Structure 1
Amino acid sequence: MPSLTRSEALTRAALVAVDSMEVDLDLDRGPEVFGSRTTIHFSCREPGADTFVDLRAHEVHAVSLNGTDVDPASVTDGRLTLTGLAQTNVLEVDSTMAYSHDGQGLHRSTDPADGADYVYGHLFLDAAPTVFACFDQPDLKAPYTVSVTAPAAWTVLGNGAATLLAPGRTSLATARPLASYFVTVCAGPWVSVRAEHDGIPLGIHARRSLEPHLREQAQQMIDVTAASFDEYHRLFGIRYPFGEYHQVFVPEFNAGAMENPGCVTFRDQMIFRGAATPDQVFQRSNTIAHEMAHMWFGDLVTMRWWDDLWLNESFAEYMAYRVTSAVGGFDEPWVEFGVMRKLWGYAAERAPSTHPVAGSPAPDALSALGNFDGISYAKGASVLRQLIAHIGDDAFVVGVGEYLRSHAFGNGELAEFIAAIEGAAGRSLTAWSAAWLQTAGADRVGLEGDVLTRVAPEAHPADRAHTLDVAAFVGGREVARVELVVDGERTPVPGLADVPTGALVVPNASDLTWAEVALDAATIEGLPGNLADLPDASARSVLWVSLLGSVARGEVDPRTVLSVFVTAWPREDSAAVLSRVSLLMTNQVVPLFLPPGEQEGARARVADSADALLERSAGVEGVSGDALAVLAARVWARTGVDEDRLRRWAAGDGIPAVLVGDEDFRWSVLRRLATLGVLGDDEIEAAEAADRSLAGSLAALGVRAVRPSAQAKEWAWGRLRDDAELSNYAALAIAGGFWTAPDAALLRPYVAQVGDLLVGLSGRMGDDAVSRVVSAMHPTSLVEDGTLEASNAMLARGDLTPGVRRALVDANHELREALASRRRFD
């Protein structure tokens, strides 16, 4: 089916305006399909003209335009043609729709814990027509009135306050004007915790089987929600405009969360079944603040077309970290931003798919999907921090408020936002916008003696001024910090010449700007013995990010990073740094950049480091000690080779007390046993029988796929290729384990078949789901020239969807980085 083009959207928006949407859904027709009746009131600026609405139905029963029947067969390729429009029009469509199992449209999932079914709507990016007929583009907003028939035992939630009209019949209050992709309905036997703050009714909801965990964790989420509301009201001077505020933790969700006004959906892994480290709690809290920011940036004011998605995501990213830093009660949120989000963004900048923050070409809706990446999120947020440094926070806040008020319940674009900020700042931002928002690429900053150098990427030249600082540390204490504006290729750093020899000197030490830091050889040499002693967590994060980025660039030997890891990581205090750096070591540095013959020895060194951290945690009291113990145990469970210890841990014997009863941790231990080839079918079946949850079912799929046997790989491949009922999460769980094997010969026969497999999945799943499977299913870990040849052949295919192609481009680039590093350092 064709994706709506920008040209078509412009033409349609110039022709019609939507006055109201009425949607009546019948979710009580069994597990496969549901009923959908839609009434659209719209006007036409050129009476007599033709247009189309978007509709991808299982079956269309009846269509009426202004009282005249329209042949249902006129729906072609997901479009219902409308001819001879009047000045005011009423379109009625009666359809049967199909539930999805890929996390898009109206997704239906069965909880294996109790057999209960749950339904939720995720209409981003172009899935609304699979639920109701609509003009599916972000600038044709309308008030929505939704009614739902559902099993009597179900609770129905949505964008408006729910009123139970009769058993099984719910009406949702008319929502203020929404883009079609923000509409949602969440229905099922939810367990709920309700509250109220500042006159706003609040609700936290999850599957019934998660009730104990939800009730234990709900108050913390309500507290974050309340504090975030207060701060956004203070900053924007505009009250939350969408009535009630529900946060629903739903199963098999593709993204982290979705900002549906009044009814935000989250992946329900954020309701922790076991131990949660401080960085995990922070990430959930930050996601709550992020989605709430969208109530203003995205929902109240929506981008006119997908090429301005930064007006949604960059702002929500920045605002969430700003708010959690100000009122969230968390330590060092911007450290987490650096080591988690900026690492992601810098990797996206290095890839051939890099793009500007704003105005990225999006000729059609699906092509925009790939631009929801680390550039739109992490770089965009960093650019906003630089904008504030450039014009001042007061001007920024005033300009943002003016932009929101002047475009409320409508749409905006880059030029309109820049005009509002220029008005508040009293200065032109044309050059600033061109350099920071409209040019791709990250500058690199480094030191040559007491001079800071700035190098723009050759492929994307720009003159970007950076507000940053440079700090120097000796023996675990800070001896210098210089704040400066870098507006040329070489900038003297006053006082740096007086810093003692052997000091660790860190450009961009507070991580204020968007620029990769290039470390000199002397600094890299000093990291193993000194990195952990730096008292500034931001500076430590900057050094880790630089070091890991330099490995990907092929500039630093991965063995050097391993040496830094085993000396510095066990002494680290930041949970975010501990978590992210260890994950990259075990998932990227060791398997991709080290030669196969050195990988097991490297994993053993990582496991020893985990034991060192575990031993250290015993001397730290309270929550901090527990967090260190959890982080250490998780790393050892991914890398340890002691089968007896692994089996004891799987039985709950000898593990840190905080992990007793933690089913997710037990599955990670079982996965390691399976990876080592010492876990039998009966043991997997017994573990699955003991954990009948959705998480347990998915973990078991991954454990089966990861086993290093021909039979296990054949099973996994067959499920991915042939199982039409495979859900998005099940496919991802299997794909995530497939390419693990000590003997590459076991995997090579599949490499050339990956393209056909992915195209087959694209026929069954939407791009949002398949693109995530691509990242796991690309044979990147088989770092060989033959793999690159096969990857190049995949990219040469003409039958790839935009989302699959973009994910393949990024995976291909990661493979090229690994190959280049091995050629240099092997």
Structure 2
Amino acid sequence: MGSLLRTEAEARADLIDLTSYDVALDLDQGAETFGSEVTIGFDCREPGASTFLDLEAVSVISITLNGEDIDPATVADRRVTMAGLAPHNTVRVVSVMRYRQDGEGLHRAVDPADGRHYVYGMSFLDAGPSIFACFDQPDLKAPYDVRVRAPHDWIVAGNGAAERTAPGEWTLATTPPLSTYFVTICAGPYAVETDEHDGIPLGIYVRASLAKQLAEQRDDIFEVTKQSFDYYHRLFGIRYPWGKYDQFFVPEFNAGAMENPGCVTLRDDYVFRGAHTRTELLTRANTIAHEMAHMWFGDLVTMQWWDDLWLNESFAEYMAHRTTAEATQYTEAWVDFGISRKTWGYGVDRSPSTHPIAGASAPDAESALTNFDGISYAKGASALRQLAAYVGDDAFIAGVRKHLTDNSFGNATMSDFLGAVEAASGRSLTEWTEAWLRSSGVDEISVDVHERDGVIERAELVVTPPEGGAGGRPHVLEIGAISDGHEERRVSVQSDTTRTTLTELAGAPRPKLLLPNVSDLTWATSLLDERSLDSVVEELAASEDPLTRLAIWSALLSGADTGRIDPIRVVEAFGAAWPQEPVPSLSDTLSGRVRTLYPYRLVPHADSADASAVLQDAGRRRLASVDGTSPSALTAARLVAATSTDANLLSQWASDVDRPAAAAGDQDFSWAVVARQAELGQIASADVDRAAAADESLSGHLATLRSRAALPTEEAKTWAWDQLFGTVDLSNYEGLAIAQGFFAGYGENAAAELLRSYVDQFFAALPIVPKKFGDMAAEKFVLMAFPHRVVERAVADAARTAIDSSDNTAGVRRALADSLDRLDRALVAQDRYSTAASKHPTTEG
């Protein structure tokens, strides 16, 4: 049996009402399996009818329905069929479950730093039945009573407050009604920091080997948590409904975080073990605010079915940046949103796999993840930001409050949410919904100027819908008229047509830069006229407004991404302006994006060494101009380490000699240098082993795997390939680390031919990936392992063949489509902007 069908879920919801779950888990049976016992109370509207439970067990010991045994041998295709239902029913299932290593179900990880074991539950999307038998769909909610048996030196936590009732025995408080995909258990020898705010008990948990780092960082985490609580209480007008609030930073987590009510799980990379930047702190703060927003929107009010999953995430994405910008010290959060999240989403929305924000069919649970991407997060959040501007913020928040109040502890749809906003604002949203939520692609916006003798006679905002798009998407935005860093005029526009006259600009001197979407308020590609484009480097250096600089960078990056601007022009702008960029979000994200996507990808291979040299020089100049102990110095040092080919410098930095002070003694920086040395072939396997011996942490273990896989030798590639596609058992994180290193360095070392020989094998082996690493990790694996630097049409053709293959899952095909789009854009850029002297065989396939 495949994924649960929507029709099956609707029929089951029409038939039964849940009244209770009682779950008992025995986690003290060894490292492979655990015991699971569940008793479920439910009522049936049609006595005598049949329904089914969802269950994925190693073995089923017993099943009883209303005191009558059901033969465990009848369990098939993850389902327990129950016939002859009574008006009031009790079903009890006792089974043995397997711990997982793919970040789903009940995941069990071993910390190599001390050999200790850690467990956490991830029930999303359909992983709940691998923990306990259940009615696994979002609109069947019930209260939960949970009891856990665990090793005596473990602590246990979950959605309800936990009490140790005897050595190794824990009972959790009864929860309000929950959907199955929110249920979690976290257990192990976790270190903990506690606090309290506004009557809410707070806990932060991390594996024992990170206890020191947690103690150092707890104040920032608690501060953001408290500020977010205060902001949401004011904004929503509803008290936090889940009792205590635990945040578990867990190992080998698939996503950024998961919004389990009362017990949020987050990847433990967010507890930084060494040097870190303000941007990394902002990202953690944003994630904390994001998951807390879900406590109301998603947890208190849950989607009816998975086709509205986008709305949960779009709302939390929007609210997190709003909260972080308005309630915490990270006031630059909207700048970060524009350069990191929107840039990601634009790439997806311009790709062949683009899709509407809403309205995507989800005939079964698994298909909901097919279109779960940068559109669901960044574009959806941008649409909600536009909605707030369109109806007015007061009306928008009033609609949110009404939606949450009317549907508390229940389920609702997108129509319910928009209906609440309509009721609060008095405005029909039918046309707005069609234009923003049910159409796909990115509009292009530009300013059409007619001038005489340097004076603007007429100016219009021009909105061009994507090819094949319906058009008519309204935009609320601002246009900036800028010269020498001075904003001469800012024009606010609510555009409902393809051309909107900008009367405020008529009669004014023509500025050097006319910048659409200057405050980055809407979702669109800004096209710059040639005069404006010629001034961007000067204006980047002169402008004091970070949103203006963001808007300029967004136009440049979009221009290169769509083939309108030579990628070298972006590299040159980076070299000229980046060393002076004062906002960490812009500085950090730009350095990562440009060094990753430009040399050896958008920039032709023959020109890429020069492009990397520009980036390295920018990093060196920034290092020379900032305090060596500052996070800015760390960002610059990371850029130099990632782009340098200087064997002497890298060798010194790997040995912690003459490093910038911000990176001195930092093990993660050491590994970044070692990885770079490995990519370039400057070190051997024995050197990686020596670095590994000095760092036996989980991070060190993963870095070791990545570095070994990056070595440009036949022995290293054979080893890595066997690890990835052979019978070796790997956790999802181990697989991703090796995948990340495998094709690294292509074009920069002598192993291009060796690596090229693996490309066809890569596409042929993809059907193995979901089976080995799980569906959620499989998509990340494909994005990580894809041979992005092998910019050849033959690779694009192989990717297309793999996308068409029914042997690959929908998630793998989707990740391939996104990777192929990036490759196609690189092919276009290299063909369009390569000079005859720089033509390289990889551009001709």
Is 2:486 the partner of 1:482?
Answer: no
1:112 paired residue number = 112
Partners of 1:106 and 1:121 within 8 A in 2: yes
Task: Say which is worse superposed, 242-251 or 388-397, in terms of deviation.
Answer: 388-397
Output the CA distance in 1 between the equivalents of 2:620 and 2:481: 31
1:74 paired residue number = 74
Q: What displacement does 1:781 show? A: 1.9
Output the CA distance in 1 between the equivalents of 2:720 and 2:445: 45
Counterparts of residues 367-766 of structure 1 (less than 5 Å):
367-449=367-449, 450-498=459-507, 500-501=509-510, 503-618=512-627, 626-740=630-744, 741-742=746-747, 743-766=751-774
Partners of 2:480 and 2:489 within 8 A in 1: yes
2:829 paired residue number = 821
Task: Say which is worse superposed, 250-259 or 571-580, in terms of deviation.
Answer: 571-580
Output the CA distance in 1 between the equivalents of 2:730 and 2:752: 27
Unaligned runs of 5+ in 1: 620-624
Aligned AA for 1:61? I
Q: Cα deviation per residue 1:581-603 (whole Å; 9 max; x = unaligned)?
A: 11111111112111111112211
1:320 paired residue number = 320
Aligned AA for 2:633? A
Q: What displacement does 1:281 show? A: 0.4
Output the CA distance in 2 between the equivalents of 1:371 and 1:793: 20
Q: Cα deviation per residue 1:526-563 (whole Å; 9 max; x = unaligned)?
A: 22333222111111111112211221211111111111
Q: What displacement does 1:664 show? A: 0.4
2:220 paired residue number = 220
Are residues 18 and 810 of structure 1, via their aligned partners in 2, closer, same or farther at CA, if it must alter by over 3 Å?
Answer: same
Q: Cα deviation per residue 1:370-405 (whole Å; 9 max; x = unaligned)?
A: 333111111111111111111111111111111101
Counterparts of residues 343-362 of structure 1 (less than 5 Å):
343-362=343-362
Aligned AA for 1:323? T
Q: Cα deviation per residue 1:255-288 (whole Å; 9 max; x = unaligned)?
A: 0000000000000000011111111101100110
Partners of 2:572 and 2:614 within 8 A in 1: no
Aligned AA for 2:669? F
Q: What displacement does 1:765 show? A: 2.5
Output the CA distance in 2 between the equivalents of 1:238 and 1:495: 43
Aligned AA for 1:770? A
Partners of 1:259 and 1:294 within 8 A in 2: yes
Q: What displacement does 1:497 show? A: 4.6
Output the CA distance in 1 between the equivalents of 2:193 and 2:483: 51
Q: Cα deviation per residue 1:669-713 (whole Å; 9 max; x = unaligned)?
A: 111111110112222111111111000000010101111122211
Task: Say which is worse superposed, 376-385 or 662-671, in terms of deviation.
Answer: 376-385
Q: What displacement does 1:494 show? A: 2.9
Unaligned runs of 5+ in 2: 450-458, 835-845
Partners of 2:512 and 2:531 within 8 A in 1: no
TM-score (norm 2): 0.96
Partners of 2:301 and 2:409 within 8 A in 1: yes
Counterparts of residues 17-28 of structure 1 (less than 5 Å):
17-28=17-28
Aligned AA for 2:335? V
Output the CA distance in 2 between the equivalents of 1:330 and 1:469: 23
RMSD between aligned alpha carbons? 1.3
Aligned AA for 2:722? G
Q: Cα deviation per residue 1:181-218 (whole Å; 9 max; x = unaligned)?
A: 10000101010000000000000110100011000001
Output the CA distance in 1 between the equivalents of 2:508 and 2:36: 71
Task: Say which is worse superposed, 154-163 or 764-773, in terms of deviation.
Answer: 764-773
Aligned AA for 2:442? A
Task: Say which is worse superposed, 606-615 or 547-556, in terms of deviation.
Answer: 547-556
Output the CA distance in 2 between the equivalents of 1:30 and 1:793: 44
Output the CA distance in 2 between the equivalents of 1:780 and 1:5: 36
Counterparts of residues 246-257 of structure 1 (less than 5 Å):
246-257=246-257
SS at match of 1:452: strand
Q: What displacement does 1:128 show? A: 0.4
1:229 paired residue number = 229
Aligned AA for 1:310? W
Is 2:818 the partner of 1:810?
Answer: yes
Partners of 1:724 and 1:764 within 8 A in 2: no
SS at match of 1:39: strand
SS at match of 1:610: helix
Output the CA distance in 1 between the equivalents of 2:75 and 2:743: 42
Are residues 499 and 699 of structure 1, via their aligned partners in 2, closer, same or farther at CA, if it must alter by over 3 Å?
Answer: farther
Aligned AA for 1:29? Q
Partners of 1:780 and 1:787 within 8 A in 2: no
1:126 paired residue number = 126
Aligned AA for 2:690? A
Output the CA distance in 1 between the equivalents of 2:471 and 2:62: 56
Output the CA distance in 2 between the equivalents of 1:516 and 1:480: 21
SS at match of 1:91: strand
Q: What displacement does 1:498 show? A: 4.9
Aligned AA for 1:423? A
Aligned AA for 2:520? D
Q: Cα deviation per residue 1:4-57 (whole Å; 9 max; x = unaligned)?
A: 111111111111121111111111111111110111111111111111111011
Partners of 2:356 and 2:440 within 8 A in 1: yes
Output the CA distance in 1 between the equivalents of 2:537 and 2:466: 29
Output the CA distance in 1 between the equivalents of 2:547 and 2:370: 30
Q: What displacement does 1:74 show? A: 1.4
Output the CA distance in 1 between the equivalents of 2:765 and 2:278: 39
Q: Cα deviation per residue 1:573-622 (whole Å; 9 max; x = unaligned)?
A: 11111111111111111121111111122111110110011111139xxx
Q: What displacement does 1:460 show? A: 2.6
SS at match of 1:338: helix
Aligned AA for 2:608? Q
Are residues 108 and 198 of structure 1, via their aligned partners in 2, closer, same or farther at CA, if it must alter by over 3 Å?
Answer: same
Q: What displacement does 1:501 show? A: 4.7
Partners of 1:720 and 1:757 within 8 A in 2: no
